A = this chain, B = another copy of it.
Amino acid sequence: MLPGMAENPPAPSRIRPLPSWLLGRAAARGRGLVAEALARHDLRMWHHVVLAAVADLGPVAQAELGRTISLDPKDMVGVLNDLQTAGLVLRTPDPADRRKNAVSLTPEGEQRLRECTRAARRANDELLAPLSAAEREQFLDMLRRISGVR
């Protein structure tokens, strides 16, 4: 039994063999480990994703940012409100187009992103601990093929 995991009874016999069920359990474990790690930095998953995307693309229009990471405009508003309130991003009106605002990281945002990226990497190392290095490469390759993610 893996450390930090309550032992659960086996899933029903018609569910247990379904790869989607196993994927769901594995993903839930991954999400839980990462959520716990990010919570220590007062962030949640989409906060981290948005900070990372702004670091890659910034300054970037909010709508463009949302399209890039496939986050609904309504949800983007909430995430940016949280990040702005925490002093991690700035929204600056675009003088050339008053419909838009440009999102950029503050120095605090850059620092928080570094911390979170390290924390997320450690959580992911724990997640994949049961696999050898060669198996990890194989596993990631298969995940990419299944999910269609580039």
Contacts and interface: CB of A to CB of B under 8 A. Distances in A.
Interface stretch (A47-55, A85-93, A94-102): A47-55
Interface in A108-126: 113, 117, 120-121, 123-124
Interface residues of A, number: 62
Interface in A42-87: 48-49, 52-53, 55-57, 67-70
B142 A135 contact: yes
Interface residue SS majority, chain A: helix
B11 A49 contact: yes
What's the number of copies of this chain in the assembled complex?
A: 2
Contacts of A15: 48-49, 52-53
A53 to B, nearest CB: 4
Given A33-B20, A124-B19, A149-B22, A52 B14 contact: yes
6 closest A-B pairs by beta carbon, nearest first, are A20-B30, A27-B27, A12-B52, A26-B147, A130-B145, A25-B147
Interface of A: 1-2, 5, 8-16, 18-20, 22-31, 33-34, 48-49, 52-53, 55-57, 67-70, 113, 117, 120-121, 123-124, 127-128, 130-131, 135-136, 138-140, 142-150
